[in-house]
C-alpha cells in the first residue's frame, strides 16, 4: 500500500503544477458552497459588533490567531504527520476532536458539507489522487470528511508542502470572511482587497506561532464568535446558511 501510495503521489506531481493546483483549491469560485456561509459574521454585523473595516480587520485577525490556526490548521498538520504511515485512525480521531469543539450546529454542518463537496469535486478533477481511504471512511462513518481534512489531504497528494498548505488554508479563511463582509457591510471591493493584503503576513505569522504544536493540543478561543454562530439560526432575516 505504501509503495502504491508513493507511486500515486509521484504521478499526481507529474500531472499537475503544485502551486497552480493550490491556487485552484484556494479560488473563492470553487463550487463547494463556501460563499453560502459567514460562520457567525452575519450575526455580529446585524448586532452592530462588527460595523467598520477596522472592526472587521480586528475580528479576522483574532480568528486567525485564536481559531483557524489553532484548530483547523492542526487538522492539516495531522494529515502530513499521519498519512505517510497510513495511521488513518489517528487522523480521523484528531479530525473529530477538532470538529466537536465547534459549538454551533450550523457551523459543524457547514464545514462537513464543504468538505464532502470538495471530496466529490476532487474525484472528478484529479482522479489520479489517492482519496479512496478517506472516501471509504466517510461512507462508513469513521471520518467526517470536514473541509480542513479534505483540503489537507488534497494538498499533500498534489505535492504541496505542509507550510504552503497551512498558510493557504488560513489565507482562504481570511478571503471567505472578507467576501462575506462585502455582502453584509458598507465596504467596497478595493477596501476589501486592501484588507486581505494587510492580513496576508498575519496568516504566515499565525502558522509560525502554532507549527510546533501537537495536533492533539488543538483549541479555539473565540467565545464571542461561537455565540454569534449559535445565534445565527435565530436571526430575523439572513443571507447566509451559517
Summarised one tens digit per residue, pLDDT across range 13-31 is 557 899 999 999 999 888 8
Q: Kindly state whether residue 241 falls inside one of the protein's structural domains.
A: no
Look up the CATH number of the domain holding residue 90. Answer: 1.10.4190.10
Separation CA 203–CA 201 (nearest Å): 5
Total domains in the chain come to 1
In a domain, 16, yes or no: yes
- Distance (Å, whole) CA 53 – CA 141: 41
Domain residues for the domain of 199 are: 2-234
pTM of the model: 0.92
What is the rounded end-to-end Cα distance, in angstroms, of the chain?
A: 40
User: Taking the CB of residue 117, how many other CB atoms lie within 10 A of it?
Assistant: 18
As to burial, measured by CB atoms within 10 angstroms (0-12 exposed, 13-18 middle, 19+ buried), residue 218 is buried
pLDDT at 221 over 50: yes
Locate 45 and state its grid cell: 454585523
Cell numbers found for residue 232:
445565527
Residue 236: band (very low, low, confident or very high) from pLDDT cuts 50, 70, 90: confident
In a domain, 240, yes or no: no
Separation of alpha carbons 149 and 162, rounded Å: 13
At 73-99, the pLDDT tens digits run 999 999 999 999 999 999 999 999 999
Average pLDDT, the chain: 92
- Exposed, middle or buried: residue 85 (CB in 10 Å: 0-12, 13-18, 19+)? exposed
pLDDT tens string 101-154: 999 999 999 999 999 999 999 999 999 999 999 999 999 999 999 999 999 999
Is 138 a domain residue?
Answer: yes
Residue 43 has pLDDT above 80, yes or no: yes
Q: Is residue 28 part of a domain?
A: yes
Amino acid at each position: 500500500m505504501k509503495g502504491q501510495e508513493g507511486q500515486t503521489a509521484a504521478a499526481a506531481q507529474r500531472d499537475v503544477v503544485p502551486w497552480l493546483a493550490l491556487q485552484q483549491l484556494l479560488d473563492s469560485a470553487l463550487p463547494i458552497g463556501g460563499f453560502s456561509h459567514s460562520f457567525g459574521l452575519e450575526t455580529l454585523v446585524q448586532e452592530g459588533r462588527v460595523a467598520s473595516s477596522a472592526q472587521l480587520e480586528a475580528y479576522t485577525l483574532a480568528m486567525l490567531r485564536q481559531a483557524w490556526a489553532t484548530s483547523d490548521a492542526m487538522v492539516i498538520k495531522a494529515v502530513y504527520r499521519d498519512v505517510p504511515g497510513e495511521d488513518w485512525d489517528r487522523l480521523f480521531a484528531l479530525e473529530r476532536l477538532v470538529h466537536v469543539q465547534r459549538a454551533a450546529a450550523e457551523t459543524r454542518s457547514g464545514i462537513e458539507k464543504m468538505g464532502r463537496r470538495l471530496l466529490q469535486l476532487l474525484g472528478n478533477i484529479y482522479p489520479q489522487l489517492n482519496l479512496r481511504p478517506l472516501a471509504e471512511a466517510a461512507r462508513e462513518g469513521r471520518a467526517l470528511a470536514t473541509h480542513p481534512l479534505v483540503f489537507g489531504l488534497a494538498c499533500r497528494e498534489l505535492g504541496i508542502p505542509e507550510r504552503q498548505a497551512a498558510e493557504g488554508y488560513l489565507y482562504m479563511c481570511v478571503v471567505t470572511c472578507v467576501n462575506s463582509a462585502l455582502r453584509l457591510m458598507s465596504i467596497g471591493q478595493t477596501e476589501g482587497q486592501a484588507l486581505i493584503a494587510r492580513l496576508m503576513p498575519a496568516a504566515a505569522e499565525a502558522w509560525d506561532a502554532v507549527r510546533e504544536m501537537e495536533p492533539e493540543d488543538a483549541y479555539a478561543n473565540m467565545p464571542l464568535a461561537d455565540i454569534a454562530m449559535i445565534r445565527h439560526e435565530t436571526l430575523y432575516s439572513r443571507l447566509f446558511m451559517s
